[in-house]
Amino acid sequence: MDFEKVYHTLTKTIMPQSFPLGVKIIKTDDPLPEGAVRPAKFGLKIAMCQWPTLARRWGWITGVMAEDVNCVPCLAGFGFKKLKDQADLAQFLMDMGYAESPEPAKTLADSIKPLDPGQVKGLAAFPLDKAPADPDLVWIYGTPAQMIRLVIGYAMSFGRPIRSETGFGLSCLAGVKPFFSDEPAFIIPGRGERMLAGTDDSEMYLSLPASHLEGLIDGLEKSHKKGLRFPIQGYVMYQPAVIPPMKALLEKLADV
């Protein structure tokens, strides 16, 4: 696929404020793409969500492996460390203030569904127009209004909506789940990503299986030709009311 063309179409139709990303799932024995920068280069261990920020805001080709991660929920969620008991995750959610008692904490913990150990070895993220390898996923960050534009483009080709998922303590995990489900999802980043990765209060993102990308781009182009635009055109062709202070001033104005 021509990822440079994809990049230009996304730039034209939704005007993202950061680079649309290609994400490569690194599985057993897979190498990182050539040129990928790891946290170890800087002597760092990080939260998984930090490094894609470098890719989407700095334009770097980045890579994170299990041994680069010090975010404990990431370690458990991605199967980099074995979660001995799901009850431990429920207790963590209570300790973090996400639940007040064991029963709702268990419900929340069960909804997270960590990956099996060995299922993922690491992640690489890179701007789409610099893609050093075919991505497995595409992540597009933006505002809710920009996401609506993506919904329309997707529906134009696939005839169905896109579900949403909260990044409840693990938006990085929520972001890779579409690779396994082969269904796109809008991810609402959680507190951790906003604190640690600098994700803005106004941002969310689409996680799209790369196999769906051609359809999304085709739908965006077709809907653009039909007149759908971002920024959304606010309707301003109306006559505002003249409020009393303005009316009082108007009465004191003389015709020229």
How sure is the predictor about 167, in pLDDT bands with cuts at 50, 70 and 90?
low
What pLDDT is stored for residue 16 in this prediction?
A: 96
What are the residues facing 206 on neighbouring strands? Answer: 140, 186
Residue-by-residue DSSP string for 126-175: EEGGG-SS--SEEEEEE-HHHHHHHHHHHHHHHSS--EEEE-TTTHHHHH
Peptide bond into 52 cis (omega under 30): no
CA gap 195, 53 in Å, rounded:
12
According to DSSP, residue 208 is labeled: E
Residue 63 has pLDDT above 90, yes or no: yes
How sure is the predictor about 210, in pLDDT bands with cuts at 50, 70 and 90?
very high
What pLDDT is stored for residue 173 in this prediction?
A: 93
Identity of the residue numbered 85: D
What are the residues facing 124 on neighbouring strands? Answer: 24, 63
Q: Can you tell me whether residue 255 is helix, strand or coil?
A: coil
Q: Give me the percent of the chain exceeding a pLDDT of 70.
A: 99
Helix, strand, coil share (%) of the chain residues, nearest 5: 45, 15, 40
Residue 121 has pLDDT above 80, yes or no: yes
C-alpha to C-alpha distances, 123 to 21, 38, 131, 168, 254, nearest whole angstrom: 12, 10, 14, 20, 70
What pLDDT is stored for residue 71 in this prediction?
A: 95
Average pLDDT over all residues of the chain: 94
CB 20 within 8 A of CB 128: yes
